[in-house]
Structure 1
């Protein structure tokens, strides 16, 4: 038995490979403690060679900031806001507000460089709700990001405009079944 494999011609005008357009995914839940599922996805993809950035906007307490990202393996950078505490509700003091805004600007700049294939923006919906990040600015950022970058947005009470833009929405809820 003889088999034959025909390879595409390299002289054709069609590109052999194409970049797939990135998705905007939303993970939302009425509670705040559902980040584990998203982090498991980020770790799995990083382990398979995908470059991943995880940004936690309202988590603090470890004096990290974007200047000191935690590297998990070769492909995952994890950044928390440089806050002395985790933010549960407004108001924030001036230093906390400045730190969060600096992290948001840093995140935008890094994503626009296109080095990451997956970017997780944890609790961005709360940063918007607390008036720390503009919803309009987030929409502009999502529209202008490099097309190959997947974005995951998390947090309770995700604004309708972000839900409308999302390619996939996952709503987690508690089951009251015994």
Structure 2
């Protein structure tokens, strides 16, 4: 392809893209769901949180399931006054082996989420709330799907919410604006390689 042909193709593409942007007139917060068995659901959400902070916004991150073990995101969030970080889980369910305690932790975390959402109803305190591994809590039945969906469906108009975790329930997918399914192709762990600090956690 010649330079002149490439330039003409790019001009055409530029025009098409600008027309697409002009056609979008709705300005409101959205509900995003990152699900699937592949790696990157939480990582993408944390990257979005940092992006929002870069624009001067405040963000809340609530982590279900993962517990109080040391993670890279926990350490980096401490450096940002703009990020409110809440850990509500006691760890992976195969570690806790206590369903009633897991349910109690999930319900406590969800109560905090509801408070965060309400804080945005009269003033836009947060631009984005990340609900990390909420899908796991829902799939294990730690929280009532219908109650969660009702709250998220009636979030403040300008608030953005991101939900992560494999096994997103259909009820949540149905009300979401953007849904991404992470599909695994290969994973180092399957070949005997240990989870890497700074990559997996």
Structure 1-normalised TM-score? 0.74
1:138 aligns with 2:167: no
Number of paired residues? 151
Give the CA deviation at 1:99: 2.2
C-alpha separation in 1, matches of 2:168 and 2:79: 28
User: For residues 82 and 56 of structure 1, do their structure 2 counterparts lie closer, same or farther at Cα, with a shift above 3 Å needed?
Assistant: closer
The answer to whether the 8 A contact 1:58-1:127 is kept is yes
**Structural mapping, 1:155-166, within 5 Å:** 155-166=165-176
**Quick one: distance in 2 between partners of 1:82 and 1:160?**
23
Distance in 2 separating the partners of 1:138 and 1:82: 17
Q: 1:99 to 1:39 in 2, by over 3 A?
A: same
Hey, what does 2:159 align to over in structure 1?
Answer: 149
- CA 1:71 to 1:144, structure 2 compared with 1: closer, same or farther past 3 Å? farther
Q: Secondary structure at the match of 2:152?
A: helix
- Separation in 1, partners of 2:58, 2:176: 21
Contact kept, 8 Å, 1:61 with 1:86, in 2: the verdict is no
Please state which structure has a larger fraction of its residues in strand.
1
* In 2, Cα distance between equivalents of 1:136 and 1:165: 11
Q: Which runs of 5+ in 1 are unaligned?
A: 1-18, 64-69
Match of 2:135 in 1: 125
Displacement after TM superposition at 1:128 (Å): 0.8
Superposition map of 1:18-57 within 5 A? 20-31=27-38, 34-57=41-64
In structure 2, the residue matched to 1:6 is: none
CA distance in 1, matches of 2:34, 2:146: 19
The alpha-carbon deviation at position 33 of structure 1 amounts to: 5.7
